[in-house]
Each structure stands twice: as structure tokens, then as C-alpha cells.
Structure 1
Amino acid sequence: MSAPTTGTTPKKDAPSPGRIITAACVGNALEWYDIAVYSYFATYLSKVFFADDDPALSLFLTLGTFGVSFLIRPVGALVLGSYADRAGRKAALTWSIGLMAVGTLMICVMPSYAAIGAVAPVGILVARLVQGFAAGGEFGSATALMVEHMPNRRGFAASWQFTSQAASTLLAALLGTVLTSTLSEEQLGSWGFRIPFAVGLLVAPVGLYIRRNVPEPPATRDTEPAHAPVRTLLREHKAGVLLTIGLLAVTTCLNYLITYIPTYATKTLGLPDSTGFVAALAGGLVLLAVTSVAGHFSDRVGQIALMVPAAGAVLLLIYPMFALLVSAPSLALLIGVVMVMALCKACYYGPMGALMAGIFPTGTRATGMAVGYNIGVTVFGGFTPMIAAWLLDATGQQAAPAYWVALAAVASLSSLFVLRRRATRPR
């Protein structure tokens, strides 16, 4: 005779928090690792895959390809986000990490411009488009998976999305530091720049295995799947999408500015190649240490209470920091500026996922977060390196990238104030 069961008996398939977080974050880590590697090694990519008659134009085209690939992210958000709301979070996450691995493999093995001509830059663009489409559905599905499995610790759970980004950016910066310090310019340009992309490929098989073996969250198992999440989102939650875009502005802009630092350090400040990677490494350590702590703390005091001061600090400090850096460029000062940016970003980033998840109901959560997130990342993220380069050229001011970050901070503060008014408004 089988033993009687009670309502308190745990389900056999209930996963541990660590398993949930790992399954959700592994694809996100691969996405941001690829983004960081592409940005860090943009100078070498421009020489290998783009015509090198004009080095400045080649670099601009390389950064432009980086930015254009973000235009497809909202499409991926609609397709994979709605798929996650209809078929489940796990199914969408399995597709996204598989597609990201395909894009990474293409960049890793692509022949040079000297070998295949114009096919090389077109191939790099296609690879980035595949990665962008896959990444479009990653954030919403992965964040929904975590907050729905851990509803009482949603701030802490969602913060691991951004902690994993910090870890992947840190790994990319570490590899960049090692490679630029040990390999010659010729070695880096011929084969050394491919090593970080090959390392990224190692994550994909592990991520696929983990994601295929994590159960759907109770919120989706107990709720009837949404039949038309995109239509419902556009009809009932347009304001939520706009608020999500605004929330992302300052932190996304900061993130991509940090990934642009190695190029900025060498091209604008005239510092050695390894200097920018060391600074990015220091920033990654701050993000890794602080982001999940901020997410945990936000479960006690509230997400907005942490995010407003962080965005305000960015608005007030970003231009003075860049002006100081331009006036006396050095490794120590560059590290200090990047670490302050990373600290503000971590305090803002950690609570943000939980705040965004609360904007949308379960039936459209993955779609809503994916669409808002990827439009925000496209506007304030993917084109940030190119906008920074354009501002430097158009204004002639070496501190000009700070203007774009300040504008993003204003957009984020505006969204936060609207959400705070919503929270205090009587129902």
C-alpha cells in the first residue's frame, strides 16, 4: 500500500533555486559574453573582416554592424517571447541558446576579407543578426522563469540575470587582458581574436542540457496559455512597454559604454591596448560583487527606492568623470571612472528585473518584458558605441560620450517616477 500524501509534500520535480538561476542565466551569460567580446575586439574585427583602405571607416562599419544587429532584437522578442507565453518558458529558452551558438560559431570560423572579399562583412552581419534574434527572446523568458519559480524572492532571483552579465563581461575582459598582454599585434590580428569566440562556444552544450531538464514554473503550469500574447500586449499594455524601455535606458547605455572603453582608451585617450581591458575587468568585478546584493536588498526596501538614487548619481557624475579622465588620462583614473559607473549600474541593475516583471501579468509577461527590453537595448545599447564615436567626431570634445549617458539617465528617472506614482495611487 502506498503511503498517504499531504498537501505539504514537496513535488518531486521542484528544482532548487540554484538550478533555476543557472538554467535561466546561462543563455544570458553567453549573449552578453559575445556582445562584450565583439565590442572589445572591434579594432581587430574591423581589420580582418572589413576593407582596410580607411581604418576609421572600417571601425565605423564594424561598430555599425554591431548596432544594426540590434534592430532585429524586437523581432526576436515578438517571436520567441510570444512562443514562451504560448508553449512555455523552457521551450523558448532552448531555442534561444541554440541560435546564439550558431551565430558565435559563424564569427569564430568566418574567413577574412582578404580571403573571400565582401562575403566576409556580410557573413559577420548575418551572424550578428542570428545572435540578435536569439537574444531578443532571452531576457523576457529567462526573467519570467526565475521570478515565477521564486515569487517571494523575485528581486534576488531577477538580479542574477545581470550578475551573469557581469560574470560574462568579466570573463571577456579577462581574456582580452591576457591576449593583448601576451600576443603580438600580428598574432591578435591573424588568429588571436578568434580565441574568445571559441571559448564562448563551450557554454552552449552545457546550457542546452541544463535548460532541457528544468521544469516550467507553477505560474505557467496553473495558468491557461495565452493564445494571442502579442495582440493582448499591444492592446492592453502599451504603457508598460514604454515604461520598460525607459527603465532600461541608463543601465543599458552604461553597459555598452563600458564595453566601448577599450576602444575609447586606445583611440581617444591614446593609452596602451591592455589599459582599457584592465579597466573593464575592474568594472566587471564591481558588477559581479554588488548586483545580486542590490537585488536581495530590494526585496526588503523596494526596487524603486534603490534605483532612483543610482540613476540620479549617473546623471550628476557622468560628465565630470569623463572631463577629469580627458584632462589627465591614466590607467588608475580610467579604472576609477569605470568602477564608479559599474557601482551605479549594479545598484540600478540588480532590482530592475523584478520591477519590470511586475509591470506585466503572467500571460503576457515574457512577451512584454522581451519587447520592451529589446527596443530599449536597441535604442540605448546597440548604437551606443557608434553614437559615442559620432559625438567624439561631431563635437571634437573627448568627453562627449557623457552627453548620451546623461540623456539616458533622464529617460530612466522619468519612468521610475511614473511607476512610483502608479504604486502609490489608490486602487
Structure 2
Amino acid sequence: MSYTAPITQTRTLNKQDYKTLALSALGGALEFYDFIIFVFFSITISHLFFPDDMPAWLSQVQTFGIFAAGYLIRPFGGIVMAHFGDLFGRKRMFTLSILLMALPTLFIGCLPTYTHIGIFAPLLLLLMRLCQGLAVGGEVPGAWTFVAEHVPKDKIGLACGILTSGLSLGILLGSLVSTVMNKSISPEQLIDWGWRIPFILGGIFGLIAMYLRRWLKETPIFLEIQKRKQQELVNKIPVVTVITQYLPQTILSMLLTWVLSAGIMVIMLMTPILLQKSFGYSPIDALQGNILAIIGLIISCTFYGMMMDKCAMGKVILIGCILAALAIAIFYLSLDNHQLLFITYPLAGFCVGIVGSFAYFMVKVFPTQIRYSGVSFSFNMAYAIAGGLTPLLISFLTDFVNKMAPAMYVVGLFALGALIGLFLLINNNSQKYIANDIG
């Protein structure tokens, strides 16, 4: 069974659209900061929350395992948030997701370490990460769906790009805070008390985001959701409909999410650590290079989103993924020359921004009545598997196989993204899969 919805005429962005985009992007940035600040201090956390006599590589792997747990629980959070988002409204779910993110982040900053409570320290840390995973599982797909159904149909790519740039801004905030902490205090002070500050700040950021979103009004999309209720109660559960009737769209969305997870997880989040461990860079140089790369990512996410509104979807994905693969290969091959870091890393960051266009594909291939569930299921299931296992895989391959393994992994996945773009281009962007019912 296919669903249809009235197609409204094209219009320009109005004041309410800009307000919705700004609040959604800023709130997403503050919430995503809370989720990823963990990885910037993973080395410190591995020393504090595991026994001193544990090998460094093993404590690092276990720390990444706790980080991965936040990804593994995301599908459950996404499905639950999608259900109640349709029932009670997107705004309420946005508020709940921020609260569920802010409080655990604040608690992490106050946790006693292994020295004080032994095995309960990593267990409590794991519990906090699980709560964060539940929150982010509903935030990202819900925000993409919300803004896509709010703006004109010829501005959906721009809206999704801006929102993804907002999430990238959260990574930038994490990198900036990490850089300031490493520059302003000694390594001893960082281990003693300094590592707590970014997490406490994250809790404050979360409360600010919650306050900001109180100004985010329910748009006409919620009225449409209300109309769907009776249809969804009569028909199958939305997730079941997604799997049984929209399997090709789901598979393609999951594959693109896999590519996205590699670009964000490895190039943006893990590379500063890999630069220090495998290539001999100082923490300051690694973080400063990372800041430039994230700025490039923020700019290009919006750029590629705009391109999706103006050009064939398959062509944008094909060209963008090829450029990303080339830039990442050049970046890693040049790492032995430290002077090139501030040129090749920002270039790689900019090219990774093609992932900002993937949300456009996801919101377009699922019809209105199941869009939230379709995007949430596809994105969170793929991110749970790929994003959850990637830190462990990369850590293992780097330590025991080859320090260039991260580059080979990410370049291979962007090659997969290019093949998906080619498939869409050959099949005229697979119009039979597109649900042209938003805008």
C-alpha cells in the first residue's frame, strides 16, 4: 500500500521557517556536543575508569566499547521516540530527548572513578552512555523529518544540510572545548579534575537547548500527523510497513548511513586520537587540525544540501563521494609530513560534507505517514551497527594490522557511496522509490 499527501505549491522561506531551522540546528548542536564529547576525552577516561594494571590498548578498547554502547541502543530510542512523536508531537519529543541527553552528561562529569568505587565506575559510565544513546536515537531522524516537512519542497535539501551542519557544530564545540582544556591546564590537572568540566558544561548546554526549544512551535506537520493516527491504527505498525513495503528504500538509506558513520566517526571524531597515537602529533596540533576540518564539514554540509535542491540526486552523491574518497586518501598519505596537516585535514573535512546530503534522500524516499519511522529505523539501525562497531574495529586494526587501516576503511565506504550515486543516476534517480508528497 502506498500513501499520498497533498502537495503544496512552492513558496519562499518565511520568518517561521528560518526560526524553526535556527532553533532545530542550534538545539541539535548542543545535544550532539553532549553525545560526542566523550570521544575527545576517551584517552583520559580509559585511565580513570579502568584498573591501572590493565594494558593501555585494552582499556582504550573497553572505553570505545562503552562509547559504542550509546550507538547500539539508538534503534530502540529512535523507534520509541518516533512512536510518541507521532502521538504527542515533535516538540515534546525534542524536549524529552534533550533532557535525556543533558542529565546523563552532567552525571558523567560527577562520577567517581575506578580508584574510588572500583567496577561500579565503568558500569555507571555505561548506564549514562545508554541513556544518551536513547536520546540521540530520536533527535536526529526526528529533526530531519520535522524540518523537511516544514519547509517548501525545493528547499528540503537546504534544510537538511543546515540541520546536519548544526549537528557538526556540536562536534566543533567539543573539539574547541577539548583544545582549550589541553592548552589551559597541565596533563596532571586534566586527569585530576579538568576532564569533568566539558561534561558539566554539556549538562548546562543541554538545559540551554531545552530552553531554546520552548520557542519552537508545532508546525502544520503535527496536524498531518494527527490525521495519520487512525490510518496507522487500522494498518500495520509503521516500522513493519517500512520493512515489508519499503525494503529497497530502507536498504539504500542504511547503506548511505554506513558511509555517513565512517566519515563522521573516523575522520571527525577518531582521527585526532589516531594522529597522536599512530603518527606522533601533539594533542594541540591534532585538535587544531580537527577544528579546521570540522569548519570545512559545517560549510560543505549546507553546500551539498543546496546542491540536492538544484541538481540530480544521484549526480551529487556520485561526485561528492568520489571527491571525499580522494581527499581522505591524500590526507592520510600526507600525515608523515606534519606541515601539511592544516591543508589536507580541512580539505578532507570539507569533502566529507557530502554526508550532509544523505538526509535529503532519506526523507524523500519514505511517504509522510511513515516517514519518521522510516528515517529513524534506517538511520538508527545502520548507525547502531556501523557506528557502534567502528571504534572497536578501527582501534583493533590500527594497533594490530596497519596504521593506514582507518583510511582504507573510510575510502572503501565512500567508494560504496559513489556506487549508490551511480545506481541512482543510471536509474534516473530511482523515481519509483521517491515519495513526492512533501513540500
TM-score by length of 1: 0.89
Counterpart in the other structure of 1:47: 47
Partner SS state of residue 224, structure 1: helix
Deviation of 1:277 (Å): 0.7
Deviation of 1:425 (Å): 5.5
Counterpart in the other structure of 2:84: 83
Counterpart in the other structure of 1:231: 240
Partner SS state of residue 52, structure 1: coil
Deviation of 1:279 (Å): 1.0
Which runs of structure 2 are paired with 1:348-363 in the superposition (5 Å)?
348-363=354-369
- The AA in structure 1 aligned to 2:48 is V
Deviation of 1:334 (Å): 2.6
Deviation of 1:72 (Å): 0.5
Q: Quick check: 1:407 aligned with 2:416?
A: no
Partner SS state of residue 16, structure 1: helix
For the residues of structure 1 that align with 2:161 and 2:343, how far apart are their CA atoms? 24
Deviation of 1:158 (Å): 0.9
Q: Are the aligned partners of 1:31 and 1:131 in contact in 2 as well (CA < 8 Å)?
A: no
- The AA in structure 1 aligned to 2:349 is A
1:92-133 deviation per Cα after TM superposition (whole angstroms, max 9, x unaligned): 222211111122122111111101111110011111110001
Q: Are the aligned partners of 2:34 and 2:102 in contact in 1 as well (CA < 8 Å)?
A: no
1:344-396 deviation per Cα after TM superposition (whole angstroms, max 9, x unaligned): 111x133222221001111111111111111222233233232211111232x
Q: Quick check: 1:344 aligned with 2:345?
A: no
Which runs of structure 2 are paired with 1:10-89 in the superposition (5 Å)?
16-53=16-53, 54-89=55-90
Deviation of 1:196 (Å): 1.3
Question: Once superposed, which parts of structure 1, at least 4 consecutive aligned residues long, lie more than 4 Å away?
Answer: 421-427
Partner SS state of residue 73, structure 2: helix
Counterpart in the other structure of 2:124: 123
Deviation of 1:291 (Å): 2.1
Which of 277, 280, 291 aligns to 2:287? It is: 277
Q: Are the aligned partners of 2:20 and 2:216 in contact in 1 as well (CA < 8 Å)?
A: yes
For the residues of structure 1 that align with 2:133 and 2:344, how far apart are their CA atoms? 29
For the residues of structure 1 that align with 2:297 and 2:172, how far apart are their CA atoms? 9
- The AA in structure 2 aligned to 1:133 is L
Partner SS state of residue 228, structure 2: coil
Deviation of 1:424 (Å): 4.9
Deviation of 1:426 (Å): 7.2
Partner SS state of residue 51, structure 2: coil
- The AA in structure 1 aligned to 2:415 is V
Which of 295, 298, 318 aligns to 1:288? It is: 298
Q: Quick check: 1:323 aligned with 2:370?
A: no
Deviation of 1:165 (Å): 1.9
1:135-191 deviation per Cα after TM superposition (whole angstroms, max 9, x unaligned): 111111111110111033111111122111221111111111111112101100111
Q: Are the aligned partners of 2:35 and 2:132 in contact in 1 as well (CA < 8 Å)?
A: no
Partner SS state of residue 166, structure 1: helix
Deviation of 1:316 (Å): 3.8
TM-score by length of 2: 0.87
For the residues of structure 1 that align with 2:143 and 2:276, how far apart are their CA atoms? 36
- The AA in structure 1 aligned to 2:47 is K
Greater displacement, 348-357 / 181-190: 348-357
Which runs of structure 2 are paired with 1:174-193 in the superposition (5 Å)?
174-193=176-195
For the residues of structure 1 that align with 2:77 and 2:36, how far apart are their CA atoms? 20
Deviation of 1:329 (Å): 4.2
Counterpart in the other structure of 1:202: 204
Counterpart in the other structure of 1:9: none
Which of 230, 241, 253 aligns to 2:250? It is: 241
Partner SS state of residue 353, structure 1: helix
- The AA in structure 1 aligned to 2:344 is V
Partner SS state of residue 345, structure 2: helix
Name the count of aligned residue pairs.
Answer: 409
Counting aligned pairs with the same residue, the percent is: 28
- The AA in structure 1 aligned to 2:170 is S
Deviation of 1:65 (Å): 1.0
Call closer, same or farther: CA 1:355–1:147 in 2, change over 3 Å.
same
Q: Are the aligned partners of 1:298 and 1:306 in contact in 2 as well (CA < 8 Å)?
A: yes
Counterpart in the other structure of 1:333: 340
